[in-house]
Structure 1
Amino acid sequence: MPSPTSPPKPITVPSLNIITSSASPESSSTKRRGRSGSIVAVQEVAGDQQDLLDQSAFGNINADWVNSKGAWLIHPVLIFTGKIMIDSIPGMHQNTSWTIVNLSYMTLSYLMFHYVTGIPFGADSHGGAYDDLTLWEQIDEGAQYTPAKKWLFCTPIALFLISTHYTHYDPWAFAINFTALIVVLIPKLPQFHRQRLRFVEPETPGAVTPKTPLGASGRTTPTPSNY
């Protein structure tokens, strides 16, 4: 029997072996996060220093005309000319006439300033620097709040107010004209400069897409070299 003064026996704890494993380069390169389920993505049209040099090499006559004499006056002239032509149709009412004028101007301005990209002439002289830019993004070299852009921003608003007044604030005409106004004004905002809405196809989350097909042995099929 041990004496009361003898020290207690030490307690031994078995050692723990912690093994860490890292993924191989092949597995890390093939695994990736699945794309989100959204079918609409906002992508930015990037530009580099070379594009800026190509844009400054020659004047962009595709966008410089908005600052020319008479360029601002052409908008009300086209609007009132179209109004007169539509009113000449027998049986045309004012509500329908102003709605058609408003929708026609909004549609043409959207296609012209925010849908078509590039320049129709002199594209080779700029090295394709404007191929991905709309006319609105080319005006005044992309600067915001310039006099030309303020005029082009206020013109559809003024047309909407005039059409709303002469349609006697009809709810259906107001809803149609207001929707067209919003569609035209949103691309003009500085927050949407060089931004594009792209429709993407959703992928299966966690899907692995191999870079090259695998052979029967599981190894990567070598790519033949060019002779």
Structure 2
Amino acid sequence: MSLNPDPHTRRRSSSILRHLEPETITEQSDQNALPNLNATWVNNKGAWGVHFFIIGILKICFDLIPGVTRELSWTLTNITYVIGSYIMFHYVTGIPFEFNAGAFDNLTMWEQIDDGDQYTPAKKFLLGVPIGLFLISTHYTHYDLHMFILNLLACLVVVIPKLPSSHKLRVGLPDLSPDTPSTY
């Protein structure tokens, strides 16, 4: 009896890292059939300004909390922006629209932006915002070592998935259920 009954599916491993298989010609043609409204908005007028608006609103909200210092406010702003950015661009897969017949179900928004091309203007901007926010928050925390480490870790969490070496790389817990064969 074979452990992997379907020869077209990859066996699951116990690794926490896995790469997606390249798209088939059918999947590529489905992706190119209609415009991807889920990812084209990042190139629209005003889309980049929304990031600065969100950062400003977060900073104001954290400043309004009693007992929160300016240093802590910048660190919380950085961490909150990074968490939201990671969830939006690197965690959620697929699109909320049904007119693409599932062509983008396995791709994150980052992989959908500009058809997966790297170093486009939109992707450079989206890479630069967390780095700039890290530099600003580090400056306003007066280079305190603990705040620096928190801000650096937050920056790395959102910058590493944006790098070309992380393209179509998924990080997750291995599936070690007894029903699923695993490789060691």
User: Normalized against structure 1, the TM-score is what?
Assistant: 0.70
CA–CA distance in structure 1, aligned partners of residues 175 and 122 of structure 2 = 38
Q: Is the 8 A contact 2:20 2:170 kept in 1?
A: yes
Structure 2 counterpart of 1:133: 107
| CA-to-aligned-CA distance 1:24-50 (integer Å, 9 cap, x gap) | xx8xx67xxxx9x95423232431111
Is 1:157–2:131 an aligned residue pair?
Answer: yes
Q: Is the 8 A contact 2:130 2:155 kept in 1?
A: yes
Q: Is the 8 A contact 1:45 1:132 kept in 2?
A: no
Match of 1:66 among 33, 42, 45: 42
Structure 2 counterpart of 1:168: 142
Structure 2 counterpart of 1:217: none
Is 1:115–2:71 an aligned residue pair?
Answer: no
Deviation at 1:202, TM superposition (A): 6.3
CA–CA distance in structure 1, aligned partners of residues 137 and 17 of structure 2 = 34
CA–CA distance in structure 1, aligned partners of residues 89 and 142 of structure 2 = 30
| CA-to-aligned-CA distance 1:102-142 (integer Å, 9 cap, x gap) | 00000000000000000011x3x222110010000000011
**In terms of Rg, which structure is larger?**
1
CA–CA distance in structure 2, aligned partners of residues 90 and 83 of structure 1 = 13
Whichever residue aligns with residue 113 of structure 1, its letter is: F
Deviation at 1:52, TM superposition (A): 1.1
Match of 2:22 among 38, 46, 56: 46
Whichever residue aligns with residue 64 of structure 1, its letter is: T
Match of 1:195 among 155, 161, 169: 169
Structure 2 counterpart of 1:17: none
Q: Is the 8 A contact 1:39 1:202 kept in 2?
A: no
Deviation at 1:81, TM superposition (A): 1.5
| CA-to-aligned-CA distance 1:51-109 (integer Å, 9 cap, x gap) | 11111111111000000000011111110121112111222201110111000000000
Structure 2 counterpart of 1:185: 159
Deviation at 1:190, TM superposition (A): 0.7
Tell me whether 106-115 or 80-89 shows the greater mean CA deviation. 80-89
3-state DSSP class of the match of 1:42?
A: strand
User: Normalized against structure 2, the TM-score is what?
Assistant: 0.85
| CA-to-aligned-CA distance 1:161-197 (integer Å, 9 cap, x gap) | 0000000011111101101111111110111111112
Whichever residue aligns with residue 114 of structure 1, its letter is: H
After the TM superposition, list the runs of 4 or more consecutive aligned residues in structure 1 that deviate by more than 4 angstroms: none
Q: Is the 8 A contact 2:17 2:169 kept in 1?
A: no
Match of 1:95 among 66, 71, 91: 71
Q: Give me the CA root mean square deviation.
A: 2.3
Return 5+ residue gaps in structure 2 as ranges.
4-10
CA–CA distance in structure 2, aligned partners of residues 92 and 198 of structure 1 = 34
Whichever residue aligns with residue 107 of structure 2, its letter is: L
How many residues are treated as equivalent by the alignment? 172
CA–CA distance in structure 1, aligned partners of residues 18 and 118 of structure 2 = 20
Structure-2 change in CA distance of 1:45 and 1:94 (3 Å): farther
Structure-2 change in CA distance of 1:41 and 1:152 (3 Å): closer
Match of 2:117 among 140, 143, 155: 143
